[in-house]
Amino acid sequence: MNKTLMFDALREATDEEMLRDPRVFVVGEDVGHYGGSYKVTKGLHAKYGDLRVLDTPIAENSFTGMAIGSAITGLKPIVEGMNMSFLLLAFNQISNNAGMLRYTSGGNFKIPIVIRGPGGVGRQLGAEHSQRLEAYFQAIPGLKIIACSTPYNAKGLLKAAIRDENPVIFFEHVLLYNLQEEIPAEEYVLPLDKAELVREGQDVTIITYSRMRHHVIQATDVLVKEGYDPEVIDLISLKPIDIESIIASIRKTHLVLIVEECMKTAGIGAELIAQINEKSFYELDRPVIRLSSQDLPTPYNGTLEQATVIHPQQIITAVKDLVGTKSKP
Is 182 catalytic? The answer is no
Q: What is the CA radius of gyration of the chain?
A: 20
Question: Does residue 67 sit in helix, strand or coil?
Answer: helix
CB 9 within 8 A of CB 3: no
Is 45 catalytic? The answer is no
| Candidate list 12, 17, 80, 129, residue with the active-site label | 129
CA 196 to chain centroid, in Å, comes to: 13
C-alpha to C-alpha distance for 182 and 95, rounded to whole angstroms: 37
Omega of the bond leading into 240 within 30 degrees of 0 (cis): yes
Hey, which residues does 206 pair with through a beta bridge?
Answer: 232, 257
Is 50 exposed, middle or buried, given 0-12, 13-18 or 19+ CB atoms closer than 10 A?
exposed
Which residues, other chains included, contact 175 with Cβ-Cβ below 8 Å and sequence gap of 6+?
120, 121, 122, 123, 211
C-alpha to C-alpha distance for 290 and 266, rounded to whole angstroms: 12
| Candidate list 12, 17, 29, 60, residue with the active-site label | 60
Q: Which residues are catalytic?
A: 60, 129
